[in-house]
Structure 1
Amino acid sequence: MTARCIMVQGTGSSVGKSRLVTGLCRVLKQDGFKVAPFKAQNMALNSYITHEGLEMGRAQAVQAEACGIEPSVLMNPVLLKPHTDKNSQVIVKGRPFGSLSAMDYHEYKIKLLKVVKECYDELAKDNDIIVIEGAGSPAEINLRERDIVNMGMAQLVDAPVVLVGDIDRGGVFAALAGTLLLLTEEEKARVKAVIINKFRGDLKLLEPGLKMLEDIINRPVLGVIPYTDIYVDEEDSPETERHRLLQKYKIHEKDIHQQRPLHIKILSLPRITNFTDFVPLGEFDDIKITYVSGGPIEDADVVIIPGSENPIESIEFIKARGWDKEISTLCQKGAVILGIGSSFSLLGKTFTTNFADAPIKGLGLLDVHIKLLQKEPSRVTGEVESGLPYEANILSGTQVEGYRIYSGEITMKDNAEKEFIKINGNTNGDFDGLISQTGQVIGTFVHGIFDNANFAQKFVNYLKSLRFNESVMDKTYSSFNFKEYREGEYDRWADVIRNSLDMDMLYSIIGITNR
């Protein structure tokens, strides 16, 4: 089997390419095709760990889920994770290659072309259709020479291209026409149609512009996709998720005021990673989540410190805003402080990393020193330790599944804190994380713990009992199954895509006439 393909490129970053590919994958799956996503090179801090312990972009993992198949690093052979403004960790076929500057990577990129082609060919053997995603814009003419992710990729596998523009940010006609203007004649020939994304308003007012655009670019408009509140995991930053939550709270403002919501504040760190960890918590009716990049956090019931690609930068960011003092005060007043991934290390008195051997002063909430290690990522299963302090005991014995990118060597005196999760199979040690003697400060290297519906429900019960002094035995708060929710959202999104695009034209571009 040699798959047919279609490639989605954009006029710039964040125009909706990843979401659109996710929707197309579900549509094609619904129509009976065996389909897989592919993105040659992804720059993102929101990653996913496969069952083999290999790291890939989360967007391609989400797209694979929409296809109904297991995520594979074949779908994203090259992942770039920026850890400074000048350097990125380069991950090739799921394994760390090294840290390279932008210039060094640009020189090295041509050597990755063989890897990219091999991964694509492997996918193409087992699927009917490959939906390829570009990165940024094909009009970045300074990067054309060694391009492996936009038109270079399209040429490599002879892919037809649809070009997507974001009307919500303004200037979509200029963006589409301007992008085509900057392409070579060979590249232009690959662009078969354009899509306008994130439209709000009356389509009749837009229709005259669509006809004029088609005349200017000599390409048809495949469709206009409306702005929606449908949830699809984001890969670049929590901004879209923050906006989605704000819209949700605005719609349900009256209901929220009638309840006693728990206020969770998530620190929006400069190189925040895996912020999708917390999406399931936001779907509980009695939880209100805010992503905070500045200003006070003093009214929080819960403060979450998410993982970051640069924990040294994170602690400096926190201290520069005075959050370290606020967190200490909140902790004394009974708030819960949760550190996940690399930010677990920030909770201790001191920590060290690969980039700094000298101890760095942490938040001092746990009486430990943590040597942060970046070993091979792994998926893990386990259960929360028994006999946790006070209200946290409701979590005891709960089964969890997730993944780790970081781990650490923990130095602790006299069992000052209690172990949190017992890991099955003795993977990289027999436990993960710590919980303070007060039961209010929790740290773990395991991402994805709230995807476990039972754990998420018990965690909300634990928070409620702390905040409102309610017995967790007297009231059980409704559970939320995140996996079922995502599946429903993929179907909703597929309906929007199907109703917005000319499906006959889409299949014609793919090269399928009988279906």
Structure 2
Amino acid sequence: MTQKTLMVQGTTSDAGKSTLVAGLCRVLQRRGIAVAPFKPQNMALNSAVTAAGGEIGRAQAVQAQACGLNPHVDMNPVLLKPCSDTGAQVIIHGRAVSNMEAGRYHDYKTVAWQAVAESHQRLCHQYEAVLVEGAGSPAEINLRDRDIANMGFAERVDCPVILIADIDKGGVFAHLVGTLALLSESEQARIKGFVINRFRGDIALLQSGLDWLEDYTGKPVLGVLPYLHGLHLEAEDAINEEPDIERADRVLDVVVPVLPHISNHTDFDPLRLHPQVRLHFVGPDQPRPPADLVILPGSKAVRPDLHWLRAQGWEDYLQRHLRYGGKLLGICGGYQMLGERIADPLGLEGEAGESAGLGYLPTRTRLEAEKALRNVTGELMLAGERVPISGYEIHSGVTEVADGCPALVQLEQVQKTVPDGACSEDEQVVGTYLHGLFETPEVTRLVLRWAGLDGAQALHYHQLREDGINRLADTLEQHLDLDAVMALLDLSGERADV
């Protein structure tokens, strides 16, 4: 059995796989062990850009931070970005190769496995430990053939597995026992213990259930992790709408429509966590509250999502919002929607064709096969101020801006600056391709002031994320059998805490 690799699988999506791997990465990093995260196959619309310009799941970028590493495409060799109910863009080693329907991708998995195997082997050569995150549940019977995300991976590389379940969802014992029962005999033997996540209450009342579980399955419970109120780690895909923070007396109301193909909604985490901001994610058929600022987010299918916006009545809402002095910001796909036309001649995001934009900015966008993937720095120019900005670009569109229209950002490139985004003449509507802009404290402060909040506080988002990782690691030190985990990695005699 491969002792250098340990895999965390979950009984369901959102069971806590990403957080457990991130916490273990920080625990091992604290002990001086060279550790790297790995997710063979990820399906998510939240992604990050590596220094070399590759695209990976955002959860793996956070796990890399927990390891003290820069993100690398080997940490997530296969990324699937859904663009319809049955299809997704397939990204291999950070680069989009094709849009595929589910059936075609199932056949393609033999090719995808080669990328997974190569990346895992490279990480094993470079690091003392590799912590692997599964996807969804290993008990999805219909997906077991050619599986590369869960037990299919674990069986091929011969690694031990920890199974985690979320007790807050209810039915935790059924989740664990049922998942185990649906696995093959060899897969059952591969599971070396259980972790129960998000427990609140008196642990003594749970003990009889834990004893029964261990007796019934013959496998140990390695830990019961408490529900951590206010813990912030970026979500892999689900939108977290309820931060546990204390609001200031004066707040700015920000509204974000939850598009059917919303991407990189983690852009809004710094606003969601800001004590002077009340962020409203508005889904289909939900009432739209009054707002100081409306932000149109990124989208994996811009023209279909723009059609959805119109069908949901957002165009009338935006016109009324602007008529009463509200501000409007578009990010990436949302920026494209603010322009005059969006053309998709190749059918990259659905049926080929062209759509009229919302018409608030003098821009025209054409979707092209080559995707822009880069980390950038520069200056944001808004409300008479210029402040440093950093972020990343992930988009297929090329946007032409009419002569004389001011840019929102000046990006730094080799020995020159280039414009990004656009501003309306009255600066009431602005747009940019930059994701992650609110992670820069000065940018958040300036945007909030532009939207009507004087004296906005600076939120140091990177430190908040670092604090969350450390808090999670502290929790694992207290509530998880780390000696057993180290033994599974054959690291029992490794360094003490540093």
- The bucket for the TM-score relative to the shorter chain is over 0.9
Greater Cα offset, 69-78 or 367-376: 367-376
Supply the distance in 2 between the matched residues of 1:87 and 1:429 (Cα, whole angstroms).
38
Task: Name which of 400, 419, 435 aligns with 1:431.
Answer: 419
Match of 2:45, SS? coil
Q: Cα distance, 1:428 vs. partner? A: 12
Supply the distance in 2 between the matched residues of 1:320 and 1:486 (Cα, whole angstroms).
37
Is 1:511 aligned to 2:490, yes or no? yes
Q: How do 1:355-366 and structure 2 match up within 5 A?
A: 355=347, 358-366=353-361
Match of 1:424, SS? strand
Q: Cα distance, 1:118 vs. partner? A: 1.1
1:164 equivalent in structure 2? 164
Structure 1 residues 468-497: Cα deviation after superposition (integer angstroms, max 9, x where no partner): xx5xxxxx4321111112111111111112
Query: In 2 relative to 1, CA 71–427 (structure 1 residues): closer, same or farther, beyond 3 Å?
Result: farther
Structure 1 residues 271-328: Cα deviation after superposition (integer angstroms, max 9, x where no partner): 1111111211233321111111143324111111110111122112211221111111
Supply the distance in 2 between the matched residues of 1:262 and 1:279 (Cα, whole angstroms).
15
Match of 2:168, SS? coil
TM-score (norm 1): 0.90
Is 1:311 aligned to 2:302, yes or no? yes
1:371 equivalent in structure 2? 366
1:336 equivalent in structure 2? 327
Task: Name which of 287, 292, 302 aligns with 1:296.
Answer: 287
CA RMSD, aligned part only? 1.9
1:62 equivalent in structure 2? 62
Is 1:29 aligned to 2:29, yes or no? yes
Supply the distance in 2 between the matched residues of 1:93 and 1:223 (Cα, whole angstroms).
34
2:276 equivalent in structure 1? 286
Whether the 8 Å contact between 1:328 and 1:365 is mirrored in structure 2 is: no
Whether the 8 Å contact between 1:296 and 1:323 is mirrored in structure 2 is: no
Whether the 8 Å contact between 2:3 and 2:488 is mirrored in structure 1 is: no
Whether the 8 Å contact between 1:368 and 1:412 is mirrored in structure 2 is: yes
Task: Name which of 439, 458, 465 aligns with 1:486.
Answer: 465
Supply the distance in 2 between the matched residues of 1:116 and 1:124 (Cα, whole angstroms).
12
Greater Cα offset, 57-66 or 288-297: 288-297
1:242 equivalent in structure 2? 241
**What percentage of residue pairs aligned between the two structures are identical?**
41
Q: Cα distance, 1:508 vs. partner? A: 2.0
Supply the distance in 2 between the matched residues of 1:221 and 1:52 (Cα, whole angstroms).
41
1:400 equivalent in structure 2? 389
Whether the 8 Å contact between 1:383 and 1:422 is mirrored in structure 2 is: yes
Greater Cα offset, 15-24 or 112-121: 112-121
1:420 equivalent in structure 2? 408
Structure 1 residues 41-94: Cα deviation after superposition (integer angstroms, max 9, x where no partner): 000100000111110111111100011111100010000001011110000000
Match of 1:450, SS? helix
Is 1:352 aligned to 2:343, yes or no? yes
Match of 2:42, SS? strand
1:500 equivalent in structure 2? 479
Supply the distance in 1 between the matched residues of 2:374 and 2:401 (Cα, whole angstroms).
25
Q: Cα distance, 1:448 vs. partner? A: 0.9
Structure 1 residues 145-169: Cα deviation after superposition (integer angstroms, max 9, x where no partner): 2011111111222211010111111
Task: Name which of 241, 252, 260 aligns with 1:270.
Answer: 260
Q: Cα distance, 1:414 vs. partner? A: 5.2
1:451 equivalent in structure 2? 439
1:320 equivalent in structure 2? 311
Whether the 8 Å contact between 1:43 and 1:81 is mirrored in structure 2 is: yes
Match of 1:477, SS? coil
Amino acid at match of 1:85: D
Supply the distance in 2 between the matched residues of 1:346 and 1:326 (Cα, whole angstroms).
15
Q: Cα distance, 1:429 vs. partner? A: 9.0
Whether the 8 Å contact between 2:241 and 2:272 is mirrored in structure 1 is: no
Query: In 2 relative to 1, CA 309–428 (structure 1 residues): closer, same or farther, beyond 3 Å?
Result: farther
2:377 equivalent in structure 1? 381
Point out where structure 2 has 5 or more consecutive residues left out of the alignment: none
Q: Cα distance, 1:464 vs. partner? A: 2.7
Supply the distance in 2 between the matched residues of 1:412 and 1:182 (Cα, whole angstroms).
56
Query: In 2 relative to 1, CA 153–358 (structure 1 residues): closer, same or farther, beyond 3 Å?
Result: closer
Q: Cα distance, 1:371 vs. partner? A: 2.1
Structure 1 residues 214-273: Cα deviation after superposition (integer angstroms, max 9, x where no partner): 1111101011111112100101121xx203x2x43xxx3xx54xx221001111111111
1:117 equivalent in structure 2? 117
Whether the 8 Å contact between 1:264 and 1:290 is mirrored in structure 2 is: yes
Supply the distance in 2 between the matched residues of 1:172 and 1:194 (Cα, whole angstroms).
11
Q: Cα distance, 1:3 vs. partner? A: 7.3
Query: In 2 relative to 1, CA 340–426 (structure 1 residues): closer, same or farther, beyond 3 Å?
Result: farther
Amino acid at match of 2:395: Y
Whether the 8 Å contact between 1:45 and 1:82 is mirrored in structure 2 is: yes
Whether the 8 Å contact between 2:3 and 2:490 is mirrored in structure 1 is: no
Supply the distance in 1 between the matched residues of 2:468 and 2:137 (Cα, whole angstroms).
27
Match of 1:437, SS? coil
Q: Cα distance, 1:107 vs. partner? A: 0.8
Query: In 2 relative to 1, CA 427–271 (structure 1 residues): closer, same or farther, beyond 3 Å?
Result: farther
Supply the distance in 1 between the matched residues of 2:329 and 2:372 (Cα, whole angstroms).
24
Whether the 8 Å contact between 1:139 and 1:183 is mirrored in structure 2 is: yes
Q: How do 1:92-171 and structure 2 match up within 5 A?
A: 92-171=92-171
Amino acid at match of 2:271: L
Amino acid at match of 1:378: R
Query: In 2 relative to 1, CA 298–199 (structure 1 residues): closer, same or farther, beyond 3 Å?
Result: closer
Point out where structure 1 has 5 or more consecutive residues left out of the alignment: 471-475
Query: In 2 relative to 1, CA 129–412 (structure 1 residues): closer, same or farther, beyond 3 Å?
Result: closer
Is 1:440 aligned to 2:431, yes or no? no
Amino acid at match of 2:141: I
